[in-house]
Structure 1
Amino acid sequence: MIRRLFLSLLALPSFLVAADAQPPPNIVMIISDDHLYSDYGFMGNKVIQTPNLDRLASESLTFTRGYVPCSLCCPSLATMITGLYPHQHKVTSNDPPIPAGMKPREFQSSLQFEAGREVMSKHLEEAGTLPTMLKQKGYLSLQTGKWWQKSYERGGFTHGMTHGGRHGDAGLDIGRKTMQPIYDFIATAQKEKKPFFVWYAPMMPHDPHTPPQRLFDKYKDKTPSPHVARYWAMVEWFDETCGELIKHIDDNGMKENTIFVYLSDNGWITNPKTGRYADKSKQSQYDGGLRTPIMVRWPGHVQPKMSDELAQSIDLVPTLLKAVGIPPTKPFPGIDLLDTTAVSARKTLYGECFTHNFVDLNVPATSLRWRWIVDGHDKLIIPNAANQPKDVVELYDLKADPQEEKNLAAENADKVKVLSAKLDAWWKP
């Protein structure tokens, strides 16, 4: 009797066995490039218009106090795709060390440069990447936009646009010139009935600030600086491309089974006189370079909410692995952002900023400029004397002084000591 029942269960049609199985969700990661954390409508900007990102924020679990650990493009992106801090994945800087006497432009076409980039790419492969991990569930993955580690294949992507240029080559056409490679890739994944991961990291609003004339005209009379107007216009242009991508997903019936993640690689404040970045933004130890909103949209699974809890880019890999049902391949330093208990329990973030060019490709501490910690609303910055010999310890109350203008370290020696001990317990080079 039992044997007959067992055999009859085995004979059930396969569609009944799989009826309750849900396909893994698709993942789209949108990464803004050189974008100040407050330059969005939903973050309080009254001039720049970002209707598509405002809408995405309203549909997402949106962390308004998000951070990246490092305010430099290449290591910041490497953290997003590995889930590790720069000193752990070892891609701490944008470029290899420059040999003595060689000019930067000459260096970028040299054999030494290629050899250095190969070491960086191997570091990334050894650290492990999200696309490689997603292959366990049969995901196809597409790289577009900024990508520093040679070919997209070095990051474990199955498809991609970048083949070896310094920070993206053909991939940099995405957003600025076309969105079609993403649409074609999605069509391929659907045809093959595979879940997909899209890395949308356009060089936007990153310079060169060359927005459409219609958008520059919109902002040119709102500021005396044409440099600022061009940057503002770039932000809106980037927002338009995000709207196109979101609409493509939603209009093609994929909204309910697609996780959108959004953040920026680092901040940017335009110097109104030069058009370059201001001191307290890109490459700096300040919130103008480190802070970014972080969003997660997954209809039916994630309740939309504006949160002032702390979040960081190290959280993306563990969050996404948990969401798609892949056991973590190693202990990650981040948390699952969809775990409300873990999010509310966290009160501290850590980070580190490094030199633009490596000092030593294999020893992260040699390139260190600053370590920093945000504990509640207190922020401590500790300079590395080897690379920042004139800097002093800095302590700020981010709630009372979000621009980090009043250094409180001298009158708060006990707090400096406590936070310094926390930093050392996290990583002491």
Structure 2
Amino acid sequence: MKRILLALAFLLPGMAIAQSKPNIIFILSDDHAYQAISAYGNRLVQTPNIDRIAHGGALLTNNLVANSICGPSRATLLTGKYSHKNGYTLNEKTFDVHQETFPVLLQQNGYQTAWIGKLHLGSLPIGFNYFNILPGQGHYYNPDFINNNNDTIRYKGYVTNLISDFFFNWLQGRDTSKPFFAVIGEKATHREWLPDIQDLGAYDGINFPLPSTFFDTYDTREAAKDQDMTIDKTMRLAEDLKVHQPFGLQHYEQDKPRLQQWLQKNYPGRNFSETELKEFYVRQGEYHRLDETQQQAFNHYYRDKVSKDFDEKKLSGKELVKWKFQRYLKDYYATAKSLDRNIGKILDYLDSTGLSKNTIVIYASDQGFYLGEHGWFDKRFIYNESLKTAFAIRYPGVIKPGTKLDALVSNTDWAPTILDIAGAKIPSEIQGRSFLPLLKHQPIKDWRKAAYYHYYEYPEPHHVSPHFGLRTKDYMLVRFYKGVNSWELFDLKKDPNQLKNVYNNPSYVAVKQQLLQQLKALILEYDDQEALEIYNHHL
């Protein structure tokens, strides 16, 4: 019998690899806040299928990103490097696909690879046997996809459902003699938060409580005060909350006077023909993609219900801001509902085919997101709601169900951990480390005591000053530069919401000096020359 098995392994090397190496699915959502997930303690909204992953394996409670913004986070996933090393510091750049990425290494180690859905790196991926990706940010309804034949095709339907369908199609047609690695890149829950039609109004029966920091005055925090990402002033009634938003031409005559008034204000002295008026009316945002059935559903909900409620209440001041907050969360959570439902479909498919026995499933978001904390939406800041991101992993037979990992993990660690799982060598250029031993309850003596962070994008689109810093278990130290030049220090035990900057507090002199030394050591370790120059000259 032993000789027969050896012969089969010799004759069918691909099959031997498939039997010995696990499949890996990495579900990467966009802007899905950890505090929006029931496994992380949300009691008003349930995410049963993300919870299935967490309960069946491990939930990371301190998974932190190195740069809290969409494209750079994906670049860090692919490279295991900080933004200053992989070259992708800002959104809307072009990622250098010719640098070493871990999917290429997986291919070299016998894996079949795929990326399906949102990529958002300004370039077509390398290292994937198959891809079918959204151009740029993509669209929620009737989106375009670019496949690995370089064809751009528009598909009818809702983006989250389509991404799942493409994944199932690929699974069914893959080379089953090889293990597979697949990224499912979700568009949800990115702005402007368009739910699937079946989920419109799903949370209208809930009155979401305001976060305790909602009316934050940003005392002692100059950079937090000088930003443009508040629900009050930045969030748009029409584009974001769909108040009086046109869905098709059904309400054109009714809205025409308001449209003409707006155009006269923003385009003084210009005359628009009737054809131009109609074209301008229907081509706002992505709503021109809606077909007639979708338009009717959106008009029924947003025009007949939401806009009517807005008009009847005639709110202003803080009451208007509270109303905007409620509408924001209702759309945000409704958009996340289809995300969780489709994750359930994926898990059910794995169970029904028997693949779940040898398939690792990871769920993560590209970064955290503000759900009204500090009065904000969006991300970018080093503060906890933006810095910390969801991460759950199920590894049958290896990770004990119900595991919670409290260690400080960075998204630079995602790539080396996947390579470690796959039995592939981790290149020395990768700046992160595998946390697989920690998931197995095997201690790592020299595991990080502080996580490094560096954000760059300024001034557009949200006027958040660039900054670098570190987060330890108990403290956060930050250096803002360019827009605002300041240091911030927070005692996370006493001030978990990062409201009181104690950098100049005499009681924290010793702590400050220790953290400054730690920060410089991390800057040198990760070779961040820009941060080093600022640190040395503006301490």
Would the TM-score normalized by the shorter structure come out above 0.5?
A: yes
The structure 2 residue matched to 1:401, chosen from 495, 500, 525, is 495
Q: In 2, distance between residues paired with 1:16 and 1:95?
A: 47
The amino acid of 2:367's aligned partner reads N
* Residue equivalent to 1:415: 511
1:45-124 to 2 correspondence within 5 Å?
45-96=42-93, 117=94, 121-122=95-96, 124=97
TM-score, length-normalised on structure 1?
0.80
226 and 281 in structure 1: CA distance in 2 versus 1, 3 angstrom threshold:
closer
1:187-206 to 2 correspondence within 5 Å?
187-189=172-174, 191-206=175-190
The structure 2 residue matched to 1:175, chosen from 128, 139, 160, is 160
| Residues 319-343 of structure 1: CA deviation (Å, up to 9, x unaligned) | 1111111111224322221213228
92 and 79 in structure 1: CA distance in 2 versus 1, 3 angstrom threshold:
same
1:126-165 to 2 correspondence within 5 Å?
126=99, 128-152=100-124, 154-162=125-133, 165=135
162 and 345 in structure 1: CA distance in 2 versus 1, 3 angstrom threshold:
closer
Q: In 1, distance between residues paired with 2:428 and 2:417?
A: 14
Are the equivalent residues in 2 in contact too, given 1:56–1:297 (CA < 8 A)? yes
Are the equivalent residues in 2 in contact too, given 1:48–1:235 (CA < 8 A)? no
40 and 170 in structure 1: CA distance in 2 versus 1, 3 angstrom threshold:
same
- Alpha-carbon RMSD across the aligned residues, in angstroms, is 2.8
290 and 281 in structure 1: CA distance in 2 versus 1, 3 angstrom threshold:
farther
1:181, distance to aligned residue in structure 2 (A):
1.0
User: What SS class does the counterpart of residue 155 from structure 1 fall into?
Assistant: coil
Are the equivalent residues in 1 in contact too, given 2:477–2:515 (CA < 8 A)? yes
* Residue equivalent to 1:6: none
383 and 46 in structure 1: CA distance in 2 versus 1, 3 angstrom threshold:
same
Are the equivalent residues in 2 in contact too, given 1:143–1:199 (CA < 8 A)? yes
| Residues 330-382 of structure 1: CA deviation (Å, up to 9, x unaligned) | 24322221213228843211111111689xxxxxxxx9811121122211111
TM-score, length-normalised on structure 2?
0.65
* Residue equivalent to 1:377: 474
* Most deviating of 194-203 and 398-407: 398-407
* Residue equivalent to 2:98: 125
The structure 2 residue matched to 1:330, chosen from 428, 434, 442, is 428
63 and 10 in structure 1: CA distance in 2 versus 1, 3 angstrom threshold:
closer
* Residue equivalent to 2:457: 355
| Residues 228-276 of structure 1: CA deviation (Å, up to 9, x unaligned) | 211111222211111111221222111121111221112222459xxxx
Q: In 2, distance between residues paired with 1:12 and 1:391?
A: 67
The amino acid of 1:382's aligned partner reads R
2:15 is the alignment partner of 1:27? no
Q: In 2, distance between residues paired with 1:125 and 1:78?
A: 12
* Residue equivalent to 1:15: 8
1:232-251 to 2 correspondence within 5 Å?
232-251=333-352
1:148, distance to aligned residue in structure 2 (A):
2.5
Q: In 2, distance between residues paired with 1:142 and 1:174?
A: 18
1:208, distance to aligned residue in structure 2 (A):
2.3
User: What SS class does the counterpart of residue 27 from structure 1 fall into?
Assistant: strand
299 and 44 in structure 1: CA distance in 2 versus 1, 3 angstrom threshold:
same
Could you tell me which runs of 5 or more consecutive residues in structure 2 were left unpaired when the two chains were aligned: 139-143, 147-154, 208-322, 524-531, 534-539
The amino acid of 2:413's aligned partner reads D
2:444 is the alignment partner of 1:342? yes
2:280 is the alignment partner of 1:309? no
Larger Rg: 2
The structure 2 residue matched to 1:300, chosen from 397, 416, 426, is 397
* Residue equivalent to 2:298: none
Are the equivalent residues in 1 in contact too, given 2:420–2:436 (CA < 8 A)? no
| Residues 22-48 of structure 1: CA deviation (Å, up to 9, x unaligned) | 432111101121122211111111111
* Most deviating of 227-236 and 76-85: 227-236
2:387 is the alignment partner of 1:290? yes
1:413, distance to aligned residue in structure 2 (A):
2.8
13 and 302 in structure 1: CA distance in 2 versus 1, 3 angstrom threshold:
closer
User: What SS class does the counterpart of residue 34 from structure 2 fall into?
Assistant: coil
The amino acid of 1:320's aligned partner reads I
